[in-house]
Amino acid sequence: MILQRMKAIGLVWATLLVAVATIANPTHRLGGLDRPAADHVDQEGWINLRSFGVLPSNTGTINRDNLQRAIDEASRDGGVLFLEPTAEGYEIASGVVLKENVSLRGGSPVSPRGSKHPDRAAPVGSLIKIVDDAHPFIAVQSATAIANLQFWYPEQTHANPDAIKPYPPTITLEKSGRVEGVTLSALTFYGEYETMDFRATAERHCELLLIRDCYGYPLSGKFITIDYCYDIPRILDCHVNPAIMRRFDRTYGKAMVDAVIRNQTYAYRIDHTDNAQLIDVFCFGTYGGILLGAESYGQLTNFNLDCVTIGIHKLGANTFNRNWMVAQGSIIANTGEDIQSIHPILVEGSGHLSLNNVEAFSGHNPALTTVGKSFGYLMVRDAKKLTISVVGARMANYVADTPILKVNSDDATIAVTASFDKDNRLVSGTF
């Protein structure tokens, strides 16, 4: 009994000593690094990055180093780092590595037209300001998440296409090993050149990418690029639009949109994937909407590809599983160097494509230089063993004699049912 009382008294004294030390020093050491005290951790266990010295008043290099220090420590146990909203934002230099088990989160809602500073043309909130082009801003490892943040390149032009700065991608994969399990949600990008680059390799492929509720307008035209990502990458509810900065008076004009289209890139590009999922995706004012690579298959549903040269470009490397199921969407292909290059749907290679309730129409739009029509509805070019089914299509505003065109594609079979051409005539049969 006496021994138990002595142990209890010792425990009380040890607790009191820790409390006194914490009051004297608001951080304590763990693994050789400073950990924030309890008053910097909210009820959910999120750690405020200000406690690590990530501050609006700091230089980008200091903030980058302090952010990396916070990430390094949080990676040990798994943790959420919180970037507190502010009217000024945080300048942070590029080259951050988001290490395993860490979530980086802010307090900004999704901002499809930008947030607005009360006194000047700038966004506000959990805002990261990127001014250097030395590296991609942040590279992600496995078991990581980024959510409710805004990324701004304040030195990027919004009006002069000759002054566009080719910044590296904002978010990319960390290339030292295989990346598995990344969630990106509720992110807004302003002035970026390339938004998200997830190109891996066969040896170090990635798995389980989830990208949802993300908004931007990359001046390269490349919003999301995924290569060698097996086990179901998903792109949900994403939006590419030159009006992304409208709320703070930085909408891209006609000359800028035309410059983006001249890059001849795709807003969404998918290759070397298993059963990729694209649901509720939108783009406006890019050369290509979606490129479905030769070594990919999956589903694309509920989409709008507006003011593009090519809406969907499908490739295929075999007839076994290079198949895409595409449904419930509209394509406005109306811009390009000449009418022969404008195709709502372009298909090459092998495999199968199923089109259900996909309409295409064209017209003029003052936001960019347009031809106003497409060449046809579906162009099949240089195809090998290929099958396509088209059901419930509305095909309008094209100049060719027929909406279905085949070039060097004798082995391609196209079956059309319950569809209508530019003159509202029923199209049904095999091509």
Q: Looking at residue 181, which CATH number applies to its domain?
A: 2.160.20.10
Instruction: Name the pairing type of β-strands 33-36 and 27-30.
Output: antiparallel
In this prediction, residue 40 carries a pLDDT of 56
Give the end of a domain, one of 217, 240, 263: 240
The whole domain housing 329 covers: 287-431
* Residue 10 covered by a domain: no
Q: Two tokens at 308?
A: 């593009």
What are the phi and psi torsion angles at 254 (to 5°)?
A: -60, -45
For position 33, what pLDDT does the model report?
38
CA 71, CA 429: separation in Å to the nearest integer? 59
- Chain-centroid distance of CA 185 in Å reads 9
Say what the pLDDT of residue 15 is: 37
* Statement to judge: residues 136 and 235 lie in one domain: yes
Tokens read off for 345 = 């749907």
Can you list the alpha helix ranges (DSSP code H) found in 172-292? 254-262
* Residue that terminates a domain, selected from 174, 209, 240: 240
* Phi and psi angles of residue 51, each rounded to the nearest 5 degrees, phi first: -70, -15
99 with 194, same domain: the answer is yes
For residue 127, tell me if it sits in a domain: yes
Q: Are residues 362 and 430 both part of a single domain?
A: yes
pLDDT for the residue numbered 42:
52
Residues 200/179, Cβ–Cβ less than 8 Å:
yes
Q: Are residues 230 and 298 in the same domain?
A: no
DSSP string, 168-198: PPSEEE-TTS--EEEEEEEEEEES-SEEEEE
One domain, residues 100 and 170: yes
**How many domains does the chain contain in total?**
2
**125, exposed or middle or buried, with CB in 10 Å at 0-12, 13-18, 19+?**
buried
Q: Do 51 and 170 belong to one domain?
A: yes
**Is 401 part of a structural domain of the chain?**
yes
Is residue 227 domain-shared with residue 321, that is, in the same domain? no
Residue type (1 letter), 386: L
Q: Does one domain contain both 294 and 234?
A: no
Tell me if 36 is assigned to some domain.
no
Query: Does residue 174 lie in a domain region?
Result: yes
Q: How far is CA 377 from the centre of its chain?
A: 28
DSSP per-residue letters across 326-392: EEEEEEEE--SSSGGG-EEEEEEEEEEEEEEEEEE-----TTS-----BS-SEEEEEEEEEEEEEES
Cα separation, 106 vs 257, in Å, equals: 30
Answer yes or no: do 123 and 218 share one domain.
yes
Say whether both 222 and 150 belong to one domain.
yes
The answer as to whether 37 is a domain residue is no
Residues of the chain with pLDDT below 50 are 1-39, 43
Residue 258 lies in a domain: no
Q: What is the pLDDT of residue 163?
A: 98
199 and 348 in a single domain? The answer is no
Q: What is the pTM of this model?
A: 0.89
154 with 302, same domain: the answer is: no
Which of 349, 335, 407, 338 minimizes the C-alpha distance to 378? 407
Whether 247 maps to a domain, the answer reads no
